[in-house]
Structure 1
Amino acid sequence: MLTLRYDEGTIRIEDAPDDVARLSFVEADPRSETHRAPAYRYPFLRRTCADRGLRADDRVLDRFGLGGLSTTYDLRGYQTEALDAWRDAGDRGVIELPTGSGKTVVAIGAIAALDTPTLVVVPTIDLLEQWAGELEAEFGETTAIGRLGGGDQRLEPITVATYDSAYLRAEAVGDRFGLLVFDEVHHLGGAGYRDVARLSAAPARLGLTATFERPDGAHETIEELLGPVVYRRSADDLAGEHLADYDIKRIEVELTPEERASYEAHQGTFTDYLAASGLQLRSGSDYQELVKRSGSDPKAREALLAKQRAREVMLNADRKREVLADLLDRHRGDRLIVFTAYTDLVYELASRFLIPPITNETPADERREILDRFRRGAYSRVVAANVLDEGVDVPDANVAVVLSGSGSEREFTQRLGRVLRPKDDGGRAILYEVVTTETAEMRVSRRRR
């Protein structure tokens, strides 16, 4: 009879019969005279043993229930559909739902249904605190809730961890949990973070995101570690009934003559280098090749810096400020969030229009106070650079103004999601996208649409 044990991020197989030893993901380990499989292959290894009638002494996970978990949430129709689709896929896969649609509620339903030790992995301390609060409210009377991150290092049957903390303890927690939940699962595509899933034996795996695909193709690795997308609904699918109806309005502005001359000069330096070098930027990996060349090629470095300067001119156009002034005046009675790509611009706008600023430099306590005042109505508008895109519980707003950003579909979707929560008065949400004409920003906007 073969024996299965968890050992340093792998499954050690003792006395493996030939039909197990020959599996594509099983390798011989001459040092211990055993065989090994990657930890994330554990459920497939168990299934193989069952399918082939092999008796196995399985010592990988301590399988115990948490005392009959239950949830007070009444899942909406699409949330039930999402949970059912995940369960039908063998408790594996990714659920893609827009921001504000209640992905956390689906995960809580999954935790209650499986009643097994669970690790929830999140990208930020803010999300760690939000998840811990939700889990304590739902399951705190039945089981303790642990935290890994933000100064806490406490493992419990249900634990919330940041990606960084989970990565640092990936081997240590690899045999502790039967269910992994990855919030903002697109982060799992990062080279180091993948180990959190790869070194874990957890059979059940759930990924949550509003935007699964990554430009670098790393979502394919996530599918291997967690399973494919098993349920997907867009903002358009849920608008009107579960999310606010919304409008997206694009406002085009011209560069000033001085800005145009600067933009064209820097952009020309960049395009001239591409033409001379034969490099074509068709993907993120092509751009990384340019970055790599810039380390040793002065011309490549000059081109890269010119591209960055052209982008700064384009995204920080003076006339965008004029548009913002008009929109702030037009929406005096609305709750409004302004998004920019640059921290310096956040502080400039905050000073000019007397709007509370939030950046990655804002202390956590101050950020929470600003958002709390925004929630209570003491503030009716805030301006932020990227930090509110994800990982922060943003109070309800009904107007978003995107002055500048990365241009990615993910970022745009996340910013739109900040105004999609249903309104008490049934009103529509509005997102204004302010773009400069005859620039790369305009082309990206058109392509995204």
Structure 2
Amino acid sequence: MNDKPLIVQSDKTMLLDVHHSEAEACRADLVRFCELIKSPEHVHTYALSAISLWNAASSGVTSEEICEKLTFWSRFPISESVLFYINDIASRFGKVVLTESEDPQYYQLEVKTERIRSEIMARKAIAKLMIVKSNRSFLIEKYNRGEVKLQLIKMGYPVDDRIVLEKGIPVEMAMCEKTKGGKTFSVRPYQTQAAQALLGDQGPGCGYGTIVLPCGSGKTVVGMTIMSQLKTRTLIVTTNVAAVHQWISEILDKMTLTQQQIGEYTGEKKDPREVTVCTYQVLTYRPDKDGPFPHLELLTKGQWGLIIYDEVHMLPAPVFKITAELQAVYRVGLTATLVREDGREDEVFSLVGPKRFDVPWNELQQQGFIATAYCSEIRLDLPTDMEIPYAIANKREKYRIASENPLKLDVVKGLVARHPDDYILIIGQYIKQLESIAAEFKLPIITGSTPNAKREELYRAFKEGESHILVVSKVANFAIDLPDASVAIQVSGTFGSRSEEAQRLGRILRPKNRSSFFYSVVTRYSTEEEFAANRQKFLAEQGYSYDIEVWEN
């Protein structure tokens, strides 16, 4: 028998023997064009999907290369139906191309085959947006550009948008060679590569897309590098006010822009300037649930030459519609994970752009750009007096009872004692649970209701060593720079959210002179254990494994 680590099945799933000597090399190939589905101790399951294949194709991985890699790693011959699927789906990227038209009111859509033309014309929702020009060419009105791309990807035909993007209003800016504090600064090689992969020669098909990099690897610097090359009026959209202030601080520290050129647009302050940083929340705010979104005009009427969507996997639904209208603007999505819990990855692909660059987490770890991290799942029993309430509860209530297991407090105390010299984040989903932990350690707690000024004061105290434990709710999942944090203790999470697991690990990945530890505390023999297995998929895909530790009370 062929001694290879992979079994490719006819349902387009793949089983990877993680104990095989070549498993890591095989996994590094798989993540370029597959998605991880399950990751128990011995065998990981991957699957091919349209989005994973189109992302691979858009970044230059051919269907032939995918088939060659799978054939090389597969223990048994691969079903012809699987090879056909790969060639069919991957080759669809590039079968529908959007280009300029001689008529300035329209764009031209060209399809490569008669079959695709017939499929398009049979769909009334999209056919009504098209004007037949010739046998395989259509005209579409410019304002329908995003809608046509969205409709076509839903049909299974991602559009290769080859229209040169419009240059925005010029704003002179550059990266600094020294920070404002006098430290030597240079853009890392992979950050330069990421920016170059997005911008290309700034010709047809360039200037838009998604960049996937680990938390702690400097996605903000990638955004600033793109800004410095385009030198244009820029809007940066991020997750919360703390992240807005962090972006502004980084720009002032590492770019030639002045305080007068950078504006904040949040619930607290609305001051748009040449470079403006805002939150998703302010864009999607409306006074009542059926009314208009008064601040979305910031996107459409700001005359931006570049829009940066920070944590693009969090892009809210109302912003998708506006993003569809902003197809002529240079745009980049920054994220550590393409996983969206609402399944709208295809909309990110078509409206923001396909994946242009990613780099394996463990590769940056080996190079010292992010910290070495060890992940452990701590399992403990439910108290005896809670077993009957748990047994008769519905599934949602079961999850909450297991998540708020009061015995977790003893685990947290033990883990804190295990790391007396580390900076520790205690992260959870449920406020009462976090309040009891904060009371035990006589610490304040940061939640969504904590005023922004108070949050930033607590973050500052942690950064400057005045405190070494922070108790935080899910507000700390995103875009918070706490470089000295080296231990994260997760006491509860948002059901099976893979992206949240990645973001929480990311809080402790800033490079430092010590290893980092990520603990997930889980009630065993409960629904929380099932959801924890799903949460860990993404990290397993990045090469991390969880040690299991049973906590004896």
TM-score of the pair, normalised by structure 1: 0.76
Residue 355 of structure 2 corresponds to 229
Name the counterpart of 2:228: 112
TM-superposed deviation, 1:236: 1.9
* Alpha-carbon distance, 1:379 to partner: 0.8
1:164 aligns with 2:281: yes
| Contact 1:170-1:195 at 8 Å conserved across structures | no
1:177 correspondence with 2:294: no
Choose from 246, 259, 271 the match for 1:130.
246
| Alignment equivalent of 1:433, drawn from 512, 515, 520 | 520
* Structure 2 CA distance for partners of 1:46 and 1:445, relative to 1, 3 Å: closer
Q: Distance in 1 between matches of 2:278 and 2:106?
A: 39
State the match for 1:379 in structure 2.
Answer: 467
Are residues 1:342 and 2:469 paired?
no
CA distance in 2, matches of 1:82, 1:19: 29
Deviations 1:228-286 (A, max 9, x none): 111122432211411111111111101122222221211xxxxxxxxxxxxxxxxxxxx
Match of 2:454 among 362, 366, 372: 366
SS at match of 2:470: strand
Alignment CA distance shift 1:216-1:79 (3 Å): same
CA contact (8 A) 1:171 1:199 kept: no
Question: Matched residues in 1 for 2:110 and 2:194: separation?
Answer: 36
Quick check: 1:200 aligned with 2:352?
no
How far the C-alpha of 1:160 sits from its partner, in A, is: 1.4
SS in 2 for 1:213: coil
- Provide, for residues 74-98 of structure 1, a one-character-per-residue CA deviation record: whole Å limited to 9, x for no partner: 2112112211211236011101111
Residue 151 of structure 1 aligns to a residue whose secondary structure is coil
User: Relative to 1, partners in 2 of residues 1:139 and 1:159: Cα closer, same or farther, differing over 3 Å?
Assistant: farther
CA contact (8 A) 1:171 1:200 kept: no
2:413 to 325, 338, 356: 325
Q: Which amino acid aligns with 1:236?
A: N
Q: What SS does the aligned partner of 2:509 have?
A: coil
Does residue 218 of the first structure (1) align with residue 335 of the second (2)? Answer: no
- Of 182, 188, 192, the residue aligned with 1:80 is 192
**1:422 and 2:511 aligned:** yes
Aligned residues: 381
Distance 1:220 1:410, change over 3 A: same
Q: 1:115 to 1:26 in 2, by over 3 A?
A: farther
SS in 2 for 1:193: helix
Alignment root-mean-square deviation, CA: 3.2
Structure 1 residue corresponding to 2:265, chosen from 117, 127, 148: 148
SS at match of 1:422: coil
Contact map agreement 2:486 2:516 (CA 8 A) in 1: yes
- Partners of 2:481 and 2:507 within 8 A in 1: no
Matches of 1:101 and 1:313, distance apart in 2:
36
Aligned to 2:530: 443
Cα deviation per residue 1:53-73 (whole Å; 9 max; x = unaligned)?
xxxxxxx96744223544445
CA distance in 1, matches of 2:104, 2:250: 43
Is contact 1:42–1:203 with CA below 8 Å preserved after alignment? Answer: no
The question of 1:37 aligning with 2:167 is answered: no
Counterparts of 1:318 and 1:46 in 2: how far apart (Å)? 54
Q: Is the 8 A contact 2:173 2:256 kept in 1?
A: no
Query: Hey, what's the Cα distance between the residues in 1 that align with 2:387 and 2:242?
Result: 40
Q: Match of 1:220, as an amino acid?
A: D
Distance 1:172 1:78 in 2: 32
Most deviating of 406-415 and 127-136? 127-136
Matches of 1:328 and 1:96, distance apart in 2: 32
Partner letter of residue 385 of structure 2?
E
Report the AA paired with residue 457 of structure 2.
Answer: E
Point out the more displaced range, 223-232 or 163-172.
163-172
State the percentage of identical aligned residues: 28
Equivalence for 1:355: 443
| SS in structure 1 of the partner of residue 376 of structure 2 | strand
Q: Secondary structure at the match of 2:382?
A: coil
Residue pair 2:399, 2:526 contacting (<8 A) in 1 also: no
Q: Helix, strand or coil: the match of 2:172?
A: coil
Aligned-partner Cα distance in 2 for 1:136–1:171: 26
Q: Which runs of 5+ in 2 are unaligned?
A: 1-100, 112-125, 132-139, 150-158, 178-184, 285-293, 538-553
Cα gap change, 1:122 to 1:435, in 2 (>3 Å): same
Q: Letter of the aligned partner of 1:149 in structure 2?
A: T
**Helix, strand or coil for the counterpart of 2:415?**
helix
Asked if the contact 1:371–1:395 (Cα under 8 Å) also holds between the matched residues in 2, the reply is: no
Distance (Å, rounded) in 2 between the aligned partners of 1:158 and 1:17: 30
CA–CA separation in structure 2 for the residues paired with 1:329 and 1:19: 64
Q: Give CA deviations for 1:299-332 in whole Å, capped at 9, x if unaligned.
A: xxxxxxx333211210011221111121122222
Contact 1:25 1:37 in 2 (8 A): no
Q: Secondary structure at the match of 2:340?
A: coil
Call closer, same or farther: CA 1:17–1:194 in 2, change over 3 Å. closer
CA drift at 1:206: 0.4
Match of 1:411 in 2: 500
Q: CA deviation at 1:46?
A: 10
Question: How many Å apart are 1:387 and its aligned residue?
Answer: 1.4
Q: Is the 2:105–2:142 Cα contact (8 Å) retained in structure 1? A: no
